[in-house]
C-alpha cells in the first residue's frame, strides 16, 4: 500500500519548482501535492550550472540558486516545501507509471496514486556511446545536465589548471563551458561538427564575432570534424582525443555537449509522442486528460507559429509550468498558452537574448565592429518573426519581444537593418489597432506597420480602415520622431 495525492509531479527540475510555487499561489492544501525527483536536492535553476557554478572565485552554490530565484521570486528551499505541506521525495526515481490506474511506482518500491499527474522529467544529455565512441565513464570526461555532473566538472577543473581541455560541441553548453574553462586558466580547444558555433541559431556573422573573441582569449576551434575515439592512460583517464580529420588533441579534461534527449520513456506506450516530446494541447494537457506535461519534455502548440514545438529553454519551462497549474486549478479562468519562444545565454562579458523564430531572411543591425550592442532580425513572408540582441538593456529586450509578438510587416530589409532597434521601438510605440475578424475567413487586421499597413485581406468594416489610418498616422509620427533621436543604429 502506498500514499495518495491529488497532484503528483514526476521530476524535480526547473519546471517542477515553478509549478510548486504556482500551486501554492492557487491555494493547494497541505498534503495534496507531491514532487518526486531522482536528484538529491530540491528544484534549482539549472542554467546556473554552466555559469556561476563554474567560477573559480566565489562560485554559486545551493541553496542560493534554488527555483524560483531567477524570476526574482521566492527561493524554494527544502524548508519552504515542508512549510507549504508539499511532499518532496528526493533521490527517488519513478520507475513505472500506470496511467489507466493513475498510479506510479517509485525506486523505493512505493506505489503512489494521483488525481492529476504532471510530467516534468526534462531531458538527459546525449552520450558519446550513442554515436559509437566509448569512454563516457572516464573520470575526466564530463557532461553537464545536473548537479552531479556540475560537481564532477568543477572538481576536474580544479585539478586541470593550466592544462588542456577539449570541448566537444559548439552549442550553448559548449560555449558557456569553454568560457568558464578559460576563466579557470585552462587551454581550450572546441571541436565543432559544423562551420560555426551555435549553428542552429547564430548566423555566420554573429558566430564570427563571438568566435573571434574566444580566439582572442586563446580558444582554438577545430571545425567540420568530430570525435572518433579517446586515448587512455593505465588509470583509464583520457589523455588525448582523436578526431575524424586525423588530428589528435592532448586532453586533461573533456567536456561533452552534444545535445539532449527528452525523458519520455515512462510514457511512450501510453501517451502520444510528437517531435520527440509528449504531445500536449494549449492547456499543457496530454492525450490522457488527467496527465499534463511541462518544460523540455512537452511538445505544445506555439500559437504564434501555428505549429507544435518542443523547446529546450528555461523560460518555456517556467511559463509552461505556471500555465499547466493554472489550467488544473482554475480551468475556467485559464486560456490558451500563448507563448513567445525566448532563449538567452551568457559567456564572458557577453549576454544575449533571442525571441521568436529564426526562419526566413535575416538582416543584421548594430555595431559589429565594437561588438557591444548588436543583433539580427528574421523576416518571414514579409513579417518580423525573430530577433537576436546582444548587450541590450532590460527595456530593449522587452521591446524586441513585444515587437516580435506583433509580427509587424517589413517593407525593406536594408531599411530594417539600418533602423535596427529603432524599428522595434517604433512598432511597439504605436497604438494597437483593434482586432477585426472576418468571421468567414478568420483573417485578422491587426498590425499597422510604419511603412506597410497590414491588411492581409481588406475588409468592408469602415471603422477598421479608419483605425488603421489613424494608427498609421501616429506610427508615421513615431517613426519620424524615432529617426530624429540620435541612436547609433
Ligand atoms: C548546464 C545548463 C545550462 C543551461 N542554460 C540555459 C540558458 O542559459 N538559457 C536557457 O534558456 N536554457 C538553459 N538551459 C536549459 C534549461 O535549464 C532547461 O530548459 C530546463 O531546465 C528545463 O526544465 P525541466 O524542468 O523541463 O527539466 P529539468 O530542469 O531537466 O528537470 C527534470 C528533472 O526530472 C528528473 N527526472 C527525470 N526522470 C525522472 C524520473 N523517472 N523520476 C524522477 N525524476 C526524474 C531529472 O533528474 C530532473 O531533476 C540550460 C540547461 C543546462 C543543463
pLDDT over threshold 60, residue 442: no
For residues 321 and 15, is the Cβ–Cβ distance under 8 A?
Answer: yes
pLDDT at residue 350 is higher than 60: yes
Quickly tell me which residue has 533571442 as its cell: 354
On whether both 291 and 318 belong to a single domain, the answer is yes
Q: Are residues 309 and 389 in the same domain?
A: no
Residues 235 and 272 in one domain: no
In this predicted model, what pLDDT tens digit does every residue of 160-198 receive, in sequence order? 999 999 999 999 999 999 999 999 999 999 999 999 999
Is 137's pLDDT higher than 50?
yes
Stretch 9-35: mean pLDDT: 98
Find cell 513585444 and name the residue. Answer: 402
Q: Is residue 199 part of a domain?
A: yes
Percent of the chain at pLDDT exceeding 70:
88
**Structure-block grid coordinates of residue 187:** 587551454
Indicate whether 199 and 307 sit together in one domain: no
8 and 101 inside one domain:
yes
Does some domain include residue 471?
no
Rounded Cα–Cα distance for residues 13 and 412 (Å): 44
Q: Which residue from 121, 172, 324 has its CB within 8 A of the most atoms of ligand 1, so it is best to mutate?
A: 121
The pLDDT value recorded for residue 479 is 43
Cα of 150 from ligand 1 centre, angstroms: 13
Using the 3D structure, point to which of 406, 429, 452 is the last residue of a domain: 429
248 and 139 part of one domain: yes
Do the domain assignments include residue 218? yes
465 pLDDT band, cuts 50/70/90, is very low
Answer whether 262 contacts ligand 1 (Cβ < 6 A): no
pLDDT greater than 90 at residue 10: yes
Helix axes 14-25, 314-329, angle to 10 degrees: 30
Whether 158 and 180 have beta carbons less than 8 Å apart is answered as no
* Ligand 1 centroid to residue 149 C-alpha, Å: 12
- Ligand 1 atom having least distance to the Cα of 342: 11
Residue with cell 557532461: 143
- Which is nearest to 449 in space by CA: 415, 485, 486, 406? 406
433 confidence band (pLDDT: 50, 70, 90) = low
**Is the Cβ atom of 310 under 6 angstroms away from ligand 1?**
no
- Overall number of domains in the chain: 3
Domain-terminating residue out of 226, 258, 290? 258
- Which residues, including other chains, have CB under 8 Å from residue 395's CB and lie 6 or more apart? none
Whether 462 is covered by a domain: the verdict is no
Residue 324 within any structural domain of the chain: yes
3-state SS assignment for residue 322:
helix
For the cut 70, the answer to whether the pLDDT of residue 466 exceeds it is no
User: Residue 463: what pLDDT?
Assistant: 42
Residues 320 and 290 in one domain: yes
Query: What is the structure's pLDDT at 304?
Result: 82
Is 440 contained in some domain? no
For residue 267, name the pLDDT band (cuts at 50, 70, 90). Answer: very high
> What backbone phi and psi angles, to 5 degrees, belong to 117?
-115, 135
Residue 1: the pLDDT is 65
Q: Is the pLDDT assigned to residue 460 strictly greater than 70?
A: no
**CATH code, 398:** 3.30.390.30
Confidence label for 305 from pLDDT (cuts 50, 70 and 90) = confident
Residue nearest (by alpha carbon) to ligand 1 atom 51: 47
Is the beta carbon of 76 within 6 A of some atom in ligand 1? no
- The alpha carbon of residue 163 and the mean position of all alpha carbons in its chain are separated, in whole angstroms, by 32
Task: Decide if 178 is inside a domain.
Answer: yes
| 454 pLDDT above the threshold of 70 | no
pLDDT at 481 over 60: no
The CA 162 to ligand 1 mean position distance, Å, reads 31
Note whether 113 and 86 are same-domain residues. yes
CATH, residue 45: 3.50.50.60
Split at pLDDT 50, 70, 90, the class of 64 is very high
Task: Report whether the peptide linkage leading into residue 334 is cis, meaning its omega lies within 30 degrees of zero.
Answer: no
Kindly report the protein residue whose alpha carbon is nearest to atom 18 of ligand 1: 314
- Specify the 3-state DSSP secondary structure of 486: coil
374-427 pLDDT, tens digit each:
999 999 999 999 999 999 999 999 999 999 999 999 999 999 999 999 999 999
Q: Is 286 in the pocket of ligand 1 (CB under 6 A)?
A: no
Question: Within this chain, do residues 316 and 358 fall inside the same structural domain, yes or no?
Answer: no
Please, which residues have CB within 8 angstroms of residue 75's CB and are 6 or more apart in sequence? 63, 64, 66, 67, 68, 69
- How big is the CA angle at 294 (ends 201 and 384), to the nearest 5 degrees? 35
Instruction: Calculate mean pLDDT across residues 444-453.
Output: 35
pLDDT for the residue 432:
63
Greatest C-alpha distance within the chain? 82
Task: Express each pLDDT in 229-254 by its tens digit.
Answer: 999 999 999 999 999 999 999 999 99
Same domain, 421 and 389: yes
Question: What is the average pLDDT across 123-132?
Answer: 97
Same domain for 8 and 68: yes
Determine whether the shortest distance from the Cβ of 93 to ligand 1 is under 6 A: yes
Q: How far apart are CA 365 and CA 378, in angstroms?
A: 11
Report the residue among 8, 10, 14 best suited for mutation to probe ligand 1: largest number of ligand atoms under 8 A from its CB.
Answer: 14
DSSP helix/strand/coil, 196: coil
Last-in-domain residue among 228, 258, 288: 258
Planar angle of CA 226, 227, 233, nearest 5 degrees: 165
Residue found by looking up cell 483573417 in the block? 443
Q: What average pLDDT does the segment 144-149 reach?
A: 98
Look at the chain and count its residues: 489
User: Above 90 in pLDDT, residue 80?
Assistant: yes
Closest residue by Cα to residue 379 from 391, 370, 387, 371: 387
- The answer on pLDDT for 215 being more than 60 is yes
pLDDT at 321: 98
Q: How many CA atoms lie less than 13 Å away from 83 in the CB half-sphere? A: 7
pLDDT recorded at residue 303: 87
Closest CA to 211 of 154, 167, 247: 167
Closest CA to 91 of 44, 46, 145, 37: 37
Name the percent of the chain lying above pLDDT 90: 86
Grid cell 498616422 in the structure block, residue: 473
Q: How far is the CA of 259 from the centre of ligand 1 (A)?
A: 13
Classify residue 182: in a domain, yes or no: yes
Atom 37, ligand 1: which residue's CA is nearest? 121
Query: What's the mean per-residue pLDDT of the chain?
Result: 90
Q: Which domain holds residue 37?
A: 2-123+261-333
C-alpha cell at 140: 575526466
pLDDT in tens, 27-51: 999 999 999 999 999 999 999 999 9
For residue 390, report the phi and psi dihedrals to the nearest 5 degrees.
-100, 135
Q: How remote is the C-alpha of 442 from its chain's centroid?
A: 32
CA atoms of 297 and 310, how far apart (whole Å): 7
117 and 133 housed in the same domain: no
Query: Which residue among 46, 263, 346, 390 is best mutated to probe the pocket of ligand 1, counting the most ligand atoms within 8 A of its Cβ?
Result: 46
C-alpha span between 428 and 424 (Å, rounded): 6
> 122 alpha carbon to ligand 1 midpoint, in Å?
5
Tell whether the model's pLDDT for residue 92 goes beyond 50.
Answer: yes
Amino acid at each position: 500500500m502506498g500514499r495518495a495525492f491529488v497532484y503528483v509531479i514526476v521530476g524535480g527540475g526547473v519546471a517542477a519548482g515553478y509549478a510548486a510555487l504556482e500551486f501554492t499561489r492557487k491555494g493547494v492544501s497541505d498534503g495534496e501535492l507531491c514532487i518526486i525527483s531522482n536528484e538529491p536536492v530540491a528544484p534549482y535553476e539549472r542554467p546556473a550550472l554552466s555559469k556561476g557554478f563554474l567560477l573559480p572565485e566565489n562560485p554559486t552554490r545551493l541553496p542560493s540558486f534554488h527555483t524560483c530565484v531567477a524570476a526574482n521570486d521566492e527561493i524554494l528551499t527544502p524548508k519552504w516545501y515542508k512549510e507549504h505541506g508539499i511532499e518532496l521525495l528526493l533521490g527517488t526515481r519513478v520507475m513505472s507509471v500506470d496511467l489507466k490506474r493513475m498510479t506510479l511506482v517509485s525506486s523505493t518500491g512505493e506505489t503512489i496514486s494521483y488525481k492529476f499527474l504532471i510530467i516534468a522529467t526534462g531531458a538527459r544529455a546525449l552520450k558519446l556511446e550513442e554515436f559509437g565512441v566509448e569512454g563516457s565513464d572516464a573520470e575526466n570526461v564530463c557532461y553537464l545536465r545536473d548537479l552531479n555532473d556540475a560537481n564532477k566538472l568543477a572538481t576536474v577543473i580544479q585539478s586541470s589548471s593550466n592544462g588542456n581541455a577539449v570541448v566537444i560541441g559548439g552549442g550553448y553548453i559548449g560555449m558557456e563551458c569553454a568560457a568558464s574553462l578559460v576563466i579557470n586558466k585552462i587551454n581550450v580547444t572546441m571541436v565543432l561538427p559544423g562551420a560555426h558555433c551555435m549553428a542552429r541559431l547564430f548566423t555566420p556573422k554573429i558566430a564570427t564575432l563571438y568566435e573571434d573573441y574566444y580566439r582572442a582569449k586563446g580558444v582554438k576551434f577545430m571545425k567540420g570534424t568530430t570525435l572518433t575515439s579517446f586515448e587512455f592512460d593505465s588509470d583509464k583517464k583520457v589523455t588525448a582525443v582523436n578526431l575524424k580529420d586525423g588530428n589528435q588533441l592532448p586532453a586533461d579534461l573533456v567536456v561533452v555537449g552534444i545535445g539532449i534527449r527528452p525523458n519520455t520513456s515512462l510514457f511512450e506506450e501510453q501517451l502520444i509522442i510528437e517531435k520527440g516530446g509528449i504531445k500536449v494541447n494549449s492547456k499543457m494537457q496530454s492525450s490522457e486528460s488527467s496527465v499534463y506535461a511541462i518544460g523540455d519534455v512537452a511538445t505544445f502548440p506555439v500559437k504564434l507559429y501555428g505549429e507544435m514545438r518542443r523547446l529546450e529553454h528555461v523560460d518555456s519551462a517556467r511559463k509552461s509550468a505556471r500555465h499547466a497549474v493554472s489550467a488544473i486549478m482554475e480551468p475556467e479562468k485559464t486560456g490558451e498558452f500563448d507563448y513567445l519562444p525566448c532563449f538567452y545565454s551568457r559567456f564572458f562579458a557577453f549576454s544575449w537574448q533571442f525571441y521568436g523564430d529564426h526562419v526566413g531572411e535575416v538582416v543584421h543591425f548594430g555595431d559589429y565592429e565594437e561588438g557591444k550592442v548588436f543583433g539580427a532580425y528574421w523576416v518571414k513572408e514579409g513579417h518580423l518573426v525573430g530577433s537576436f540582441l546582444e548587450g541590450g538593456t532590460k527595456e530593449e529586450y522587452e521591446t524586441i519581444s513585444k515587437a516580435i509578438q506583433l509580427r509587424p510587416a517589413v517593407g525593406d530589409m536594408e531599411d530594417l537593418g539600418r533602423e535596427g532597434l529603432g524599428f522595434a521601438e517604433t512598432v511597439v510605440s504605436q497604438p494597437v489597432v483593434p482586432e477585426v475578424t472576418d468571421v468567414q475567413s478568420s483573417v485578422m487586421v491587426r498590425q499597422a506597420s510604419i511603412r506597410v499597413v497590414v491588411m492581409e485581406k481588406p475588409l468592408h468594416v469602415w471603422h477598421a480602415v479608419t483605425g488603421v489610418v489613424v494608427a498609421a498616422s501616429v506610427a508615421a509620427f513615431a517613426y519620424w520622431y524615432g529617426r530624429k533621436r540620435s541612436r547609433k543604429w
